[in-house]
Amino acid sequence: MTKVAWVTGAGKGIGAAIAREFGKREMRVALSARTASDIDHVADEIRAGGGEALAVTCDVTKPDEIANAVARIQTRLGALTILVNNAGMAGSHKFLDHDDALWHKIIATNLDSVYYVTKAVAPMMVEQNWGRIINIASISSKVGAKYIAAYTASKHGVLGLTRALAAEFVSNNITVNAICPAYMDTPMTDGTVANMTQRAKMSEADARAYLAKLSPQNRLITPAEVAHVALMLVDENARGITGQAINVDGGMVMF
């Protein structure tokens, strides 16, 4: 069976790293993001390495765009067998005067998108009686922290959805798992650092050092480490792993 994968939020960071690794292993890879230039660049890299890639511009908070993306992927690459829900955003705010628009934007981007995209793709996997769904969550899906109520709620939701779908699709040979990274060396963390320098009056170096020290390994996690776990989960030998939330955090959260 030809493996056809869709990686959302694939223009940068974790998504780009996963898409590149999939492309090296003879998978047909669809990459999506809202910015065409980002995914075009990653798709070109995959093709240059001998892989097959399709860049699809898509806002995964909008069901009509998702439907169009799925149709295009199926026409060009075939029925999807692997889905990586990676698209997401971060944001922080004190709760007492929390901005409602920020709350809804984070929930839509991080949680609603996983619901919409998975709902669109799952029927193909059920029909083929095989599939792999990987949701990129966060250690914030397991623990809470101040000033990130919306982000924490969204990622807890992703973990709950992961477990529910794992139970629902287990008889269809579809595994559903979450990967839960700590702070990453990615553009998303660059945004967090910028926010810290503005609000906490910290230097960029001090902000990065603060985030690194949250891990017992005193470092930021790299996208390659998350991509490694994703590769493991799509392998046939990982068929016994479902409904799990695998931390990639240097020992920060041990459950």
* pLDDT tens track for 36-45: 999 999 999 9
| Residue 210 confidence (pLDDT) | 82
Residue of 115, 116, 147, 151 marked active site: 151
pLDDT in tens, the chain (255 residues): 889 999 999 999 999 999 999 999 989 999 999 999 999 999 999 999 999 999 999 999 999 999 999 999 999 999 999 999 999 999 889 999 999 999 999 999 999 999 999 999 999 999 999 999 999 999 999 999 999 999 999 999 999 999 999 999 999 999 999 999 998 887 777 777 777 777 777 888 887 888 888 899 989 999 999 999 999 999 999 999 999 999 999 999 998
Give yes or no: 151 in active site.
Answer: yes
DSSP state of 127: H
Range 4-182+221-248 classified under CATH 3.50.30.30 = no
What pTM value is reported for the model? 0.94
CA distance 149 to 132: 30
| Domains in the chain: boundaries | 4-182+221-248
Handedness of CA 180, 212, 93, 144 (dihedral sign): positive
For residue 2, with 0-12 CB atoms within 10 Å meaning exposed, 13-18 middle and 19 or more buried, which class applies? exposed
* pLDDT tens track for 135-162: 999 999 999 999 999 999 999 999 999 9
Residue pair 184/9 in contact by the 8 Å Cβ criterion: no
Task: Kindly report the average pLDDT of the chain as a whole number.
Answer: 94
